[in-house]
């Protein structure tokens, strides 16, 4: 998510990216305006709430099929 307790999700994503450049990052959030910034940190997908189960399922299946 973008707004996390005590930290911004984008800042957290940058920290993850520094440690693991291959990890698949998927944002699930209510804030569509942060999508460009998420893709700047190489987000794999950016899903805007309200969450549709089929959309999340497709994203998870793509992650699994491509491996880590």
- Compute the distance between CA of residue 13 and CA of residue 42 in angstroms, rounded to an integer: 9
CATH code at 42?
Answer: 3.40.50.2300
Q: Which of 47, 14, 53, 51 is nearest to 32 (CA)?
A: 47
pLDDT band, very low/low/confident/very high, at 5 (cuts 50, 70, 90): confident
Task: Dump pLDDT digits (tens) for 55-66.
Answer: 999 999 999 998
* Paired tokens of 46: 């950016």
pLDDT of residue 68: 55
Task: Dump pLDDT digits (tens) for 35-49.
Answer: 999 999 999 999 999
Q: Residue 25: give the domain boundaries.
A: 3-66
Number of structural domains, the chain?
A: 1
pTM of the shown model:
0.85
User: What string of DSSP letters covers 4-39?
Assistant: ETTEEHHHHHHHHHHH-TTPPEEEEES-GGGHHHHH
């Amino acid at each position: 998510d973008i707004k996390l307790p005590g930290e911004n999700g984008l800042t957290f994503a940058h920290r993850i990216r520094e440690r693991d450049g291959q990890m698949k990052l998927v944002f699930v959030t209510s804030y569509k305006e942060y999508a460009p910034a998420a893709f700047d940190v190489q987000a794999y997908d950016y899903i805007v709430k309200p969450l549709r189960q089929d959309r999340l399922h497709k994203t998870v299946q793509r992650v699994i099929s491509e491996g880590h």
